[in-house]
Structure 1
Amino acid sequence: MERKCLDCGALLFGRSDKKFCDDSCRTNYNNRRNSGESSYLRKVNSILKRNRKILETLNPKSETTVKWRTLISEGFNFDFITDMYETTEGVQYRFCYEYGYSLLDNDEVLLVKRKE
C-alpha cells in the first residue's frame, strides 16, 4: 500500500505510521490546520497584552487616577479584560492580568495593581 505525505503528497518510506516526509511538512500541515483558530486567539491575546502594557505604563505606582480619554488615546480597548472583581460596596474593577481599573465620576479611571 502506497502512503503519501499529508502535506506535500510525496511517497513515504519507513515506519508504517509515518504521516509526513519531514518536520517541515509536519509543521506546515499543522499550521494550516490550526490557522483559523489560532489567528483569533493571537488577536485577542495581542489586545490583552497591549491593554496590560498601557495600564502598567500609566500606573507606575500601585494606584493612580487618569482621564479615560488618556487610555483611549494610548490605544486601550475597554472591550477586552481577563477578570472582573466587585467589592462588597459594589465597586467594579476590571483587570488585564494583574493590572486593573475602575471607572469613576468626572471621566476619570482609577488604575490599580493587584497585590500578589
Structure 2
Amino acid sequence: MKRNCMECDLPISGREDKKFCCDGCRNAFNNRMNRDSTNMMRNVNNKLRKNYRILSELNAEGKTRIAQEKLLHKGFELHYITHILTTKTGKTYRFVYNQGYMITDDNQLELVRRET
C-alpha cells in the first residue's frame, strides 16, 4: 500500500504507521493545525509572565503591602491569574504561579510568595 505525507503529499517509506516523510513536514503540519489556539495561548501566557515579573519585582522579600494603583501603573492586569486560594480564615488570594496578592478593604494589596 502506497502512503503519502500528510503535509507535502510525497511518498513515505519506512514504518507502516508513519504519517510524514520528515520531521520538518510533521512540525509544519502540527504548527498549521494548532495556529489558531497558539496565538490566543501565546497572548495569555505573555500576560501571565508580565504579571509574574511585576509581582516578583514588587515582592522581593516574600511579603509586602502596596497601593493597588502602583501595581496597575506598572501594567499589571488583574484578570490574568493562574489560581485562587481561599484560606481557612476566609481570605482570598489570587495567584500568578507562586506570587499572590489579596485586595484589602482600603484598596491596598497584600503581596505574598507561596513556597512550593
TM-score (norm 1): 0.85
State the alpha-carbon separation in 2 of the partners of residues 27 and 33 from structure 1: 10
Alignment coverage as a number of residue pairs: 116
Say if 1:9 and 1:70 are closer, same or farther in 2 by CA, change over 3 A. Answer: same
Say if 1:87 and 1:19 are closer, same or farther in 2 by CA, change over 3 A. Answer: closer
Query: Which deviates more, 77-86 or 8-17?
Result: 8-17
Tell me which residue corresponds to 1:49: 49
Tell me which residue corresponds to 2:106: 106
Task: Give the letter aligned to residue 74 of structure 1.
Answer: K
Q: Structure 1, residues 6-36: CA drift from partner, whole Å, max 9, x if none? A: 1112233344433222111111011111222
Say if 1:11 and 1:93 are closer, same or farther in 2 by CA, change over 3 A. Answer: same
- Show structure 2 runs of 5+ residues with no match: none
Say if 1:16 and 1:87 are closer, same or farther in 2 by CA, change over 3 A. Answer: closer
What SS does the corresponding residue of 2:34 show, helix, strand or coil? helix
**Identity rate of aligned residues, in percent?**
39
Q: Structure 1, residues 12-64: CA drift from partner, whole Å, max 9, x if none? A: 33444332221111110111112223333222222222111110000111111
Say if 1:114 and 1:14 are closer, same or farther in 2 by CA, change over 3 A. Answer: closer
Tell me which residue corresponds to 1:30: 30
State the alpha-carbon separation in 2 of the partners of residues 97 and 53 from structure 1: 11
- Show structure 1 runs of 5+ residues with no match: none
TM-score (norm 2): 0.85
State the alpha-carbon separation in 1 of the partners of residues 100 and 3 from structure 2: 54
Tell me which residue corresponds to 2:69: 69
What SS does the corresponding residue of 1:38 show, helix, strand or coil? helix
State the alpha-carbon separation in 1 of the partners of residues 90 and 17 from structure 2: 59
State the alpha-carbon separation in 1 of the partners of residues 113 and 14 from structure 2: 56
Say if 1:85 and 1:17 are closer, same or farther in 2 by CA, change over 3 A. Answer: closer
Runs of 4 or more consecutive aligned structure 1 residues displaced over 6 Å after TM superposition: none
Q: Provide the aligned C-alpha RMSD in A.
A: 1.8
